[in-house]
């Protein structure tokens, strides 16, 4: 049964529902220059699985390098909500911190994907390490 979750940016100007591909099991981080600075944990959803329910006009996008991945942000509060992936253009990566009841600190261990040596450039096959969080 698909897992459908509600999400929104920090200020609430942008809201969405999303049907996740495999619940929270696809959670991961990326090592590319942008993701290293952004620091978000993302989960996977099909393009058809995300519906913007409020504030589509408040979304702004950012593209860099090959300009293939499309990163969406709230133009009011600046929060990254989701992006269309370069590695899987038929998927969105969704910021788990925007999902209702979910925190990036809910994951004791996360895969870190090789975004520096991108698989679409023939350099890498995926996971380069793991990021661990242990609550005090």
Q: What pLDDT does 26 receive?
A: 93
In a domain, 93, yes or no: yes
In a domain, 122, yes or no: no
Domain count, the chain: 1
Q: Residues 6 or more apart from 99 whose CB is under 8 A from it?
A: 5, 6, 7, 18, 43
In a domain, 22, yes or no: yes
In a domain, 135, yes or no: no
In a domain, 74, yes or no: yes
Helices (H) and strands (E) in the chain, counts: 1, 11
pTM of the predicted model as reported, rounded to 2 decimal places: 0.89
- The whole domain housing 78 covers 3-103
CATH classification at residue 65: 2.170.150.70
Sequential pLDDT tens for the chain (136 residues): 568 999 999 999 999 999 998 999 999 998 888 888 988 999 999 999 999 999 999 999 999 888 888 999 999 999 999 999 888 899 999 999 999 999 999 999 999 988 777 666 666 668 888 989 998 9
In a domain, 124, yes or no: no
């Amino acid at each position: 049964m698909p897992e459908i979750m509600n999400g929104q940016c920090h200020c609430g100007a942008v809201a969405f529902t999303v049907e996740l591909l495999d619940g929270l099991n696809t959670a991961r981080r990326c090592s590319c220059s942008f993701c290293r600075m952004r620091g978000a944990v993302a989960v996977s959803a099909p393009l058809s699985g995300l519906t913007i329910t409020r504030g589509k006009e408040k979304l702004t996008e950012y593209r860099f390098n090959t300009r293939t991945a499309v990163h969406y942000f709230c133009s009011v509060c600046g929060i990254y909500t989701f992006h269309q992936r370069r590695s899987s253009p038929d998927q969105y990566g969704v910021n788990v911190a925007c999902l209702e009841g979910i925190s990036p600190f809910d994951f004791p261990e996360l895969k870190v994907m090789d975004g520096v040596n991108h698989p679409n450039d023939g350099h890498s096959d995926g996971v380069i390490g793991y990021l661990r969080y242990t609550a005090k």
